[in-house]
Amino acid sequence: MTSRKKSSAVSGPRFAVRHSKIHGNGVFALVDIRKGERIIEYKGKHRTWVDASADYPEAPKGEPEHTFLFSLDDDMVIDGNIDGNSARWINHSCAPNCEAVDDKGRIFIEAIRHIKPGQELNYDYNLQFEERYTAAVKKRFPCWCGNKTCRGTLLGPKERK
Ligand SMILES: C[S@@+](CC[C@H](N)C(=O)[O-])C[C@H]1O[C@@H](n2cnc3c(N)ncnc32)[C@H](O)[C@@H]1O
Ligand SMILES: [Zn+2]
């Protein structure tokens, strides 16, 4: 009689969604995640900015915006509200341990350093808008990551086109 050798590696969930001190829910490592590891794909419906923004009105004046939209380019977003997964709960940090990588139009969240169990996963949202970043605009996208290097906003430095 033959028996198949069992693998000694036991794979379980590598992260979990929990309450975050930064904002609402966040995603936390349950195991060691090594630098360079691909953790999760940012899933959701690919649709145009115009389409998506028609569904989600801006926050009332003076209140921070909240979004599950991941911007792919000037035209397209991934809408995490529709067919999304846990990636939509990953918060922004100005000193992130992950980055969002574009792989042929699909977005993957990858570790840029070693992440220990219990640590929150985050990446730099680097939000880009054409309008001038006045204090009022920055206030619509405040950052509460709490890092020494926090720039105070989820907006990234303007990228040249
Ligand atoms: C993709 S959701 C992340 C999940 C979010 N924590 C929640 O519970 O819905 C993105 C939204 O979370 C909030 N957020 C994420 N990172 C933040 C941060 N560092 N500071 C303040 N708000 C943040 C903002 O409202 C942002 O639009
Ligand atoms: Zn910050």
Using the predicted structure, report yes or no on whether residue 34 has a pLDDT greater than 80: yes
Determine, yes or no, domain membership for 83.
yes
CA max distance for the chain: 74
* H, E, C per residue of the chain: CCCCCCCCCCCCCCEEEEECCCCCEEEEECCCECCCCEEEECCCEEEEHHHHHHHCCCCCCCCCCCCCEEECCCCEEEECCCCCCHHHHCEECCCCCEEEEEECCEEEEEECCCECCCCEEEECCCECCCCCCCHHHHHHCECCCCCCCCCCECECCCCCC
Determine, yes or no, domain membership for 123.
yes
Q: Are 24 and 68 in contact (CB under 8 A)?
A: no
Token match 């195991």: residue? 31
Q: Average pLDDT of the chain?
A: 92
Centre of ligand 1 from the C-alpha of residue 9, in Å? 34
Determine, yes or no, domain membership for 13.
no
> What would the pLDDT profile of 53-62 be if each residue is shown by its tens digit?
999 988 988 8
CATH code, domain with 50: 2.170.270.10
pLDDT value at residue 96: 98
Which domain does 113 fall in, by range?
Answer: 39-58+66-127
> What would the pLDDT profile of 84-105 be if each residue is shown by its tens digit?
999 999 999 999 999 999 999 9
Ligand 1-lining residues (CB < 6 angstroms): 20, 22-26, 64-68, 88-89, 91-93, 142-145
Centre of ligand 1 from the C-alpha of residue 2, in Å? 53
Determine, yes or no, domain membership for 53.
yes
The residue that leads in pLDDT, 99 or 139, is: 99
| Ligand with the closest atom to the CA of 144 | 1
Determine, yes or no, domain membership for 100.
yes
Using the predicted structure, report yes or no on whether residue 42 has a pLDDT greater than 70: yes
Query: Within 10 A of 148 (CB to CB), how many other CB atoms are there?
Result: 6
Using the predicted structure, report yes or no on whether residue 15 has a pLDDT greater than 80: yes
Using the predicted structure, report yes or no on whether residue 28 has a pLDDT greater than 90: yes
Determine, yes or no, domain membership for 135.
no
Centre of ligand 1 from the C-alpha of residue 71, in Å? 15
